Structure 1
Amino acid sequence: MVENRRDRRAQRANGTNGAKTLRHEPLKRGTSIDHLEYVDVTPIIGREYPTARLKEMLDAPNAEEQLRDLAITICERGVVFFRAPQDDLSVDEQKHITDLLGKLTGRPEENGLHVHPLYNDPNNLPMEDGTTDKNIYVINSEAAKKLYATMKNRPNALNEPRDLGREWHSDSLFENCPSDFSFLRMQSTPPAGGDTLWVSGYEMYDRLSPPFRDFLETLTATCAQPVFKSACEAGGYDVMSPRGSP
C-alpha cells in the first residue's frame, strides 16, 4: 500500500484580489500504467491493483515513466493498494520505489527518505531477516504500547475513552518537511479485523460551507508529537536527526 501525504494536484495561493490562483500547474498523468487492472475502492478515495507487481514496474524499460504515472495516481486517489503478493520485491527496491515517487514528481533534490525520530529506541523491532534500516520503521502493536506508555498525562486503560474517532491523523505533520509518500508493507496480518481506514481531507473540505472554508483559511496549525520527547527521555537516547530533509 502506498499513500500520498501531500497534495500535488493544485497548490493554491491568494492572488492580489483575494482570488485563488495556482502556484503550480497540476501534474499530468500519462498512459504508461493504463494496461494495469484496477478498481476504485470508493468514488472519492482509494484504488486497488489486484494483479500488478511492483517488481515488474521497477524492471520495465520505461520504469521511471510508469512510477511517475503511479505517483500521480496516488496523489489523485490518496492511497493505492497492491493486492497481489510482492514477495519478490526487496527492501532496497521498496526504498528505491518510494524515493523515485518523490523525485519524479518534483521533490526538492536535497530531500531524501524519512528517518523515524525514534530509530534509536531499543524497543524498535528488526525486520523479518533480523536487520534494521533507518528508513524502515517496523510497526508492531506491542512495541507501540511500550512507546506510548511514556506519554505524559496519557489516560490509562481504565478511563481512556473508547471513541477512537480522535485517532484520525496524518503522520509526521510536525516535521518541517513532512513525507510526501509512504509505503506500508504487510508482513503479518490477523485472520480477521485489523483494517486501516482512510479518509479524504479534500472531500471533507469540499463539503464545508463556503463561509466555514473561508474561516478555516484564516487559521494556522502548530503540530507536535510529545510522546517522542518523553520516549527519548525515558530511554536515555537522542531523537534521530537529520530525518530526511536538511
Structure 2
Amino acid sequence: MRDARVPEGGLYEGVRTLRPYPEGWQERPYELIEVVPQTRVIGAEIRGADLTRPLSPALREELNRALLEWKVIFFRGADLAPEQQAAFARHWGELETNPLLARGSSDEIVRFEKAADSAGTRPTYENVWHTDVTFRERPAMGAVLQLREVPPIGGHTMWADMAAAYDNLSPRVKERIDGATAMHDFIPGFARFTSAERLAELQDEFPPVEHPVVRTHPETGRKMLFVNTSFTTHIVGMDRAESDRLLAELVRQAHVPEYQVRFAWQPGDIAFWDNRATQHYALFDYMGHRRVAERVAVVGDRPF
C-alpha cells in the first residue's frame, strides 16, 4: 500500500467545524427585525429595519447582536444619503478617516469609483483577501459599505469568518501561534497602486504596529486569526523563511469556501461587517463597466 500522507501546511478536504456562535452564547429570538442567515456561519440579511431614521436603543442592540452572531449583515435597498450612512455607523462609535483613499462628500466617507474604461488601470484594493487598516494601532471595529452604482455583471464582495478559520487549525499550528505576535504595515498593501512619494509622505504617520496573531473578540470572547495578505509582514521572533511559511498557511485559511459568504450587490444595498472578525475580498471581474461605492468605518480598539 502506498503512503497516504499528504504534505502539511495546506488546506485539506473533509468535514470542518462550523459554529456561528462562541461557546456559551445565549441565542435569543429577535423581536424588531428578521434575520435571514446566508450560510452556516457568516452573513445574514436583515429585514424590517429602517436605517433612514435614528436607531432606538433596542433596535441598535438587536442589530449589534446580529452583527456579532453573523459577522456581516446586509440591508437590501437601504438607499441612504451619505450623511445618513455616516449617522447609522456612528451608532457604533467615532468614525475613522483615511488619507490613503479617495474622499467622498466628507472626511469620514471613502469613495471607491471605477470607471467603465478602467480595465487597463493599476490594481487597487480589489482581488485580495484583507482586513481593513490592521496597520493602525486601533484597526477599524467595522465598516458600512453602500453601492451607488453596480455593474450589470460581477462586482460581488466576499467575506470570510476568521473565527471559523481559527477553529479548524490543527492543534500543531494552534500551539505554534499561541501568544505569537506579528507586524503590520500599510506599505505592502498600498504599494500596488500608490506612488513611492506618497508612501514616503505617510510612513511616519503610520509606523509598523504589532498585533497578536490570534486576537480575542472584545464582545464575544472568541478567538480569531488576525493576519492578512495586505498588511501582515512577518511574525515577531521568527526568521524570515519560517515566518513566510507559517503566514502563507495562515492567510490561506480565508480561501476555504465553508467560511465564506458572497454578496451580489444591487444599487442602494448596504453591508455592515465586523472588521475584527472577518476578512473581505472585492472582485474586479466587471471590466468595461462602472462601479461606485462609498464606505464609512468605525474606530476600533487595540487588539488583544
Tell me, yes or no, whether TM beats 0.5.
yes
Structure 2 partner of 1:98: 89
How many residue pairs get aligned? The number is: 183
**Aligned partners of 1:30 and 1:69 also within 8 Å:** no
Q: TM-score, normalised by structure 2?
A: 0.50
| Worse overlay, 70-79 or 234-243 | 234-243
Query: How is 1:225-244 mapped onto 2 (pairs within 5 angstroms)?
Result: 225-226=186-187, 228=190, 231=194, 233-234=196-197, 238-239=201-202
Structure 1 partner of 2:100: 118
Structure 1 partner of 2:224: none
Residue 221 and residue 144 in structure 1: after superposition, are their counterparts in 2 closer, same or farther (change >3 A)?
farther
Q: CA deviation at 1:197?
A: 1.1
Structure 2 partner of 1:198: 159
Amino acid at match of 1:177: R
Q: CA deviation at 1:94?
A: 1.8
**Aligned partners of 2:32 and 2:48 also within 8 Å:** no
Q: Which runs of 5+ in 1 are unaligned?
A: 1-8, 11-24, 103-111, 127-131, 150-163
Query: How is 1:39-54 mapped onto 2 (pairs within 5 angstroms)?
Result: 39-54=36-51
SS of residue in 1 equivalent to 2:34: coil
Residue 234 and residue 97 in structure 1: after superposition, are their counterparts in 2 closer, same or farther (change >3 A)?
same
Structure with the higher fraction of residues in helix conformation: 1
Partners of 1:209 and 1:236 lie apart in 2 by 38
Q: CA deviation at 1:228?
A: 4.7
Q: TM-score, normalised by structure 1?
A: 0.60
1:139 aligns with 2:100: no
Q: CA deviation at 1:224?
A: 1.0
More RCO (CA 8 Å, sep 6+): 2
Amino acid at match of 1:224: D
Structure 2 partner of 1:217: 178
CA RMSD of aligned residues (A): 3.8
| Worse overlay, 207-216 or 195-204 | 207-216
Q: CA deviation at 1:125?
A: 6.0
Query: How is 1:2-17 mapped onto 2 (pairs within 5 angstroms)?
Result: none
Residue 145 and residue 172 in structure 1: after superposition, are their counterparts in 2 closer, same or farther (change >3 A)?
farther
**Aligned partners of 2:133 and 2:140 also within 8 Å:** yes
Residue 232 and residue 136 in structure 1: after superposition, are their counterparts in 2 closer, same or farther (change >3 A)?
farther
Selected match of 1:35 from 32, 37, 42:
32
| Worse overlay, 200-209 or 216-225 | 216-225
Structure with the higher fraction of residues in strand conformation: 2
Structure 2 partner of 1:77: 70
Q: CA deviation at 1:49?
A: 1.9
Q: Which runs of 5+ in 2 are unaligned?
A: 1-20, 207-296
Q: What is the identity percentage for the equivalent residue pairs of Structure 1 and Structure 2?
A: 24
